[in-house]
Each structure stands twice: as C-alpha cells, then as structure tokens.
Amino acid sequence: MMSRRVERLTCAEVQDRLDAWIDGDLEGEEAGVLEAHVERCPECEAERRLADEIRAGLRGLPEFDVPDRVIKAVRDQTTPTIGERARGLLDAVFARPVPAMAAVAAIVLFMLAVVPWRQSETPPRYTAEEVERAAEETKLALAYVSSITRRAELQVRRRVFEDGAVSATVRGISRSLDWTGTAAGAEPTTTVLPKQNHEGSS
Amino acid sequence: MRMERDVFDAAVKIHSRRVFTLAVYLLGEREEAEDVTQEVLIRLWRKGHEVDPERIGPWLTRVTRNAAIDIIRRRKPGVRAVMDPGDGSTDPPEGSPGPERLAQSSQLGSRLLAALHTMSEPQRSVVILREIQGLSYREIGDALEMPLSTVRVSLHRGRRRLREELREVRHDVAAC
C-alpha cells in the first residue's frame, strides 16, 4: 500500500528525487507517484526534461585519445638505460646468493681465459733490427743445443760400450735363459759386443 | 624495483585514454591534461609494482584526480580554463548525431563544461566519472576512496548544481 507521505510529495521533494528516479533507484511504487506528479505538474515536468537533457549532453561529450607525443615521452622515460639494465641484472643476480657466486665465478674465469687470448690476437710490432737480432740469438741457441746433444751422445756411447755398463744386465739375462750353454751354477761368461761393429754404425 | 614491462604496456593501452579524458574535463585545458597524463603514467611505471594489477584502473583515476587538483590549486585565483567540447576530439561517441543536432549538442556541451567548472570538489570529479565516463557508484567510491553514501550525495549535489546553472542560462537567453 502506498504511504501517505509519498502520495503527498511536494514539487521540491519530487525534484529532489528526480536523479534517483532517472537512475532507476526508486522502488516501483514511489516511481509511479513521481511519474504521476510530473505528468500533471508543468514545473516538475520542465525540471525532468532539463535533467534528461543534461544527462544526455554529458554522455554525448567525447573521450579523448592521448596524443602520440605524450605516449612517446612516456616510453622515452620508462625505457631503462644501459646502466639501469646492468643494475637490474645485478640486483636480480644478488637476490639469489648461491647462483650469484656461481655467476661471478663464471665471469671471472671467462675474463681470465678470454681477455689474455684476445690481447694476444693483436700482432706485436717489432723493428727489423729486433727481428734480425732475435734470429741470430735463435741460431746461436740452436747451435749450442746441438753441440750439447752431440757431446751427450758420445758420452753415453762410451759409458755403454767401452766401459761395459751393460755387462751386469747381460749377465743376469744370460743366466736366466742359460743362454751361455754352460751348466747351471757355472760362472757365466761376460759378453761384450765387438767394439768395431758399434763404432761403424755411428 | 619497477613494474613488469608487459603489464605496464597493457595498462597504458587500456587506461591511458580514460586518464587523459578525466584530466581534460577536470582541468578544462589540453596542455595541462597532457602533462598530467604523462606524469601519471610515469608514476605508474615507478610505483605500479605496489599496485594490485586488478586495481590499476581505480589507482590511475585517483592519482589523475589528485594531480589535476594540485594543478588547479596552483593556478592564479580567478583563472578558469574551459575548453571547447569539440576541441581535439578524435573519436566521436557511438551513434553520432547529425549536423543540426551536433550544433545544438555542441552548444549544450559548452554550457555543460562551463557549468562543470563552477562546481567544487568532489562533486565535479564524481559527475565526470559518473556521467561522462560511465563509472558505477561502486567504481567511483573505489577510485576516490569514498563511501557509497558520499558518492550519492556528491552526485546529487553536482547534478542539482548543473540544473541551476543551465536554468539560469535559459532564463538569460529567454530574457534576451
């Protein structure tokens, strides 16, 4: 049942409820009373038309696209610099201590391995005099090494074949194989290869 | 720490138009609105990681409104910028009216914009968000951190103010 208060709405009360009515917020009964009042009251009818017009006018106002220069300025200011990227990477790495240490170790090893190698790629620059002196020194060094090698070879030959350094070994082998043809327990014969054969082979 | 790049790009794509439009209607001046939009989007980039991705829209609305109010407060007393409603519009609303209706609506639009700038806060923000940008009462309350009752009261006062302003204009026109 409709309340007496709603039935007796004044123009001021109706106009105060116009927005709620237009928004559809009023209950059916109250909305019906307002509608009936507005139909027979020119002042409230004019107010309702004005409210409708304002609402339609506001809703007809355009939205605005953001100018490209604003979007570009935003992009420019939100694109991280190289330094910021590096800091971000370090922050991300050091947020996890164990992988961080592994990463640092890998970087250090990489630097130790690669940087000297890369540096050696650069050809050194020597003068012609330096190159010639280095060549002479190299010849002298090679001649010295060759001389030492020859002296060492002669010394070894003398020890082995002339001083009989191998006779003890030969005796041991001969005894094991009974190669000398002597009976077991007999004194083995010292075998020395003929001197002239070895000298002729050198 | 910054916002994820793809989240930021998506937020700019989705919300920048609404941010700029709100700034334009609050300030009544495009250049200032551009400055506010730029400032707000950069603030989103710097602070966005602290915002729930689902609440970026309300956050942007609140920050935009606050930035615009700061600019209005810094203006010299008595200076009131009111733009042409057709100025710079690149996207007419759906179901655009014909030329005659457009002329009438443009006249009405100019009067409405002038009337909007006679309103105080928070009525102006609430009217813009509700009537121009189509937000619900709840969305407005969420964005401006207001209880629903305050949103309703502000909207009611704002609309009444607009009717008073336009009624006066009509009377002046009729008197002429």
Using CA atoms, how far residue A113 sits from A104, A116, A123, B54, in Å, is: 14, 7, 19, 50
Radius of gyration (C-alpha) of chain B in whole angstroms: 17
* B3 and B61 housed in the same domain: yes
Tell me the two tokens of residue A72. 């570009």
Instruction: Specify the pLDDT at position A186.
Output: 47
Q: How far apart are CA A94 and CA A103, in angstroms?
A: 10
Chain B residues 100-159 with CB within 8 Å of chain A: 105, 108-109, 112-113, 127, 131-134, 155-156, 159
* B57 and B104 housed in the same domain: no
Q: Flag whether A119 is in a domain.
A: no
Q: Flag whether A200 is in a domain.
A: no
CB A190 within 8 A of CB A170: yes
* A143 and A170 housed in the same domain: yes
Collect all residues of chain A within an 8 Å Cβ-Cβ radius of residue B29: none
Helix (H) or strand (E) holding A124: none
* A25 and A72 housed in the same domain: no
Collect all residues of chain A within an 8 Å Cβ-Cβ radius of residue B109: 57, 60-61
Cα torsion angle, A50, A55, A60, A64, sign: positive
Shortest CB distance from A64 goes to which of B88, B97, B131? Answer: B88
* A13 and A52 housed in the same domain: yes
* B113 and B148 housed in the same domain: yes
What does the DSSP 8-state code read for residue B120?
A: P
Q: Which residue of B has its CA nearest to A65?
A: B17
- Of B115, B18, B61, B100, nearest to A64 by C-alpha is B18
- The CATH number given to whatever domain includes residue B10 is 1.10.1740.10
Q: Reply yes or no: is the peptide bond before residue A97 cis, omega within 30 of 0.
A: no
Question: ipTM of the assembly?
Answer: 0.79
Q: Flag whether B82 is in a domain.
A: no
Domain that holds residue A23: 4-59
Shortest CB distance from B42 goes to which of A55, A66, A77? Answer: A77
- The CATH number given to whatever domain includes residue B129 is 1.10.10.10
Is the predicted pLDDT of residue B36 greater than 90, yes or no?
Answer: yes
Q: How far away is chain B from the Cα of A23, in angstroms, using its nearest Cα?
A: 11
Q: Which residue of A has its CA nearest to B44?
A: A78
CB A136 within 8 A of CB A159: no
What number of H helices and E strands is found in chain A?
10, 0
Q: Flag whether A139 is in a domain.
A: yes
Contact B89 A62 (CB under 8 A): yes
Q: Flag whether B89 is in a domain.
A: no
Tell me the two tokens of residue A46. 């004019």
Shortest CB distance from A61 goes to which of B42, B88, B132? Answer: B132
Task: Decide: helix, strand or coil at residue A60.
Answer: coil
Q: How far apart are CA B128 and CA B134, in angstroms?
A: 8
* A8 and A55 housed in the same domain: yes
Pick among A17, A71, A78 to test the B interface (most B CBs inside 10 A): A78
For tokens 């204009």, what's the residue? B169
Pick among A44, A48, A49, A63 to test the B interface (most B CBs inside 10 A): A63
Contact A58 B89 (CB under 8 A): no
B16 in A contact zone (CB under 8 Å): yes
The mean pLDDT of A70-83, rounded to a whole number, is 84
Contact B18 A78 (CB under 8 A): no
The tally of domains found in chain B comes to 2
Q: Flag whether B160 is in a domain.
A: yes
Tell me the two tokens of residue B128. 């813009």
Q: Flag whether B84 is in a domain.
A: no
- Of B163, B10, B87, nearest to A61 by C-alpha is B87
* A43 and A85 housed in the same domain: no
pLDDT > 70 in chain A, percent:
60
Tell me the per-residue pLDDT of A128-140, one tens digit each, with 9 for 90 and over.
Answer: 888 888 888 888 8
Task: Decide: helix, strand or coil at residue B85.
Answer: coil
Task: Kindly report whether the global pTM for this prediction surpasses the value 0.90.
Answer: no
Q: Flag whether A108 is in a domain.
A: no
The tally of domains found in chain A comes to 3
Radius of gyration (C-alpha) of chain A in whole angstroms: 56
Task: Decide: helix, strand or coil at residue B40.
Answer: helix
Is the predicted pLDDT of residue A148 greater than 50, yes or no?
Answer: yes
Transcribe B130-171 into DSSP letters: IIIS---HHHHHHHHT--HHHHHHHHHHHHHHHHHHHHHHHH
Instruction: Specify the pLDDT at position B80.
Output: 59
Tell me the two tokens of residue B38. 């730029």
Q: How far away is chain A from the Cα of B131, in angstroms, using its nearest Cα?
A: 6
Task: Decide: helix, strand or coil at residue B89.
Answer: coil
Domain that holds residue B116: 100-176
For tokens 């919300």, what's the residue? B15
**Averaged confidence pLDDT in chain A:** 74
Tell me the per-residue pLDDT of A151-193, one tens digit each, with 9 for 90 and over.
Answer: 888 888 777 777 666 666 667 777 777 665 444 444 544 445 5
Cα torsion angle, A147, A150, A155, A156, sign: positive
Is the predicted pLDDT of residue A121 greater than 90, yes or no?
Answer: no
What does the DSSP 8-state code read for residue A23?
A: H
Q: Enumerate the β-bridge partners of residue B91.
A: A63
* B20 and B69 housed in the same domain: yes
Is the predicted pLDDT of residue A103 greater than 80, yes or no?
Answer: no
**Averaged confidence pLDDT in chain B:** 83
Is the predicted pLDDT of residue B84 greater than 80, yes or no?
Answer: no
Collect all residues of chain A within an 8 Å Cβ-Cβ radius of residue B151: none
* B69 and B119 housed in the same domain: no
Shortest CB distance from B163 goes to which of A47, A63, A74? Answer: A47
Instruction: Specify the pLDDT at position A79.
Output: 82
Q: How far apart are CA A45 and CA A50, in angstroms?
A: 9
Tell me the two tokens of residue B73. 């407060």
* B5 and B67 housed in the same domain: yes
Tell me the two tokens of residue B126. 């609430």
* B173 and B122 housed in the same domain: yes
Strand intervals (E) in chain A: none
Contact B21 A67 (CB under 8 A): no
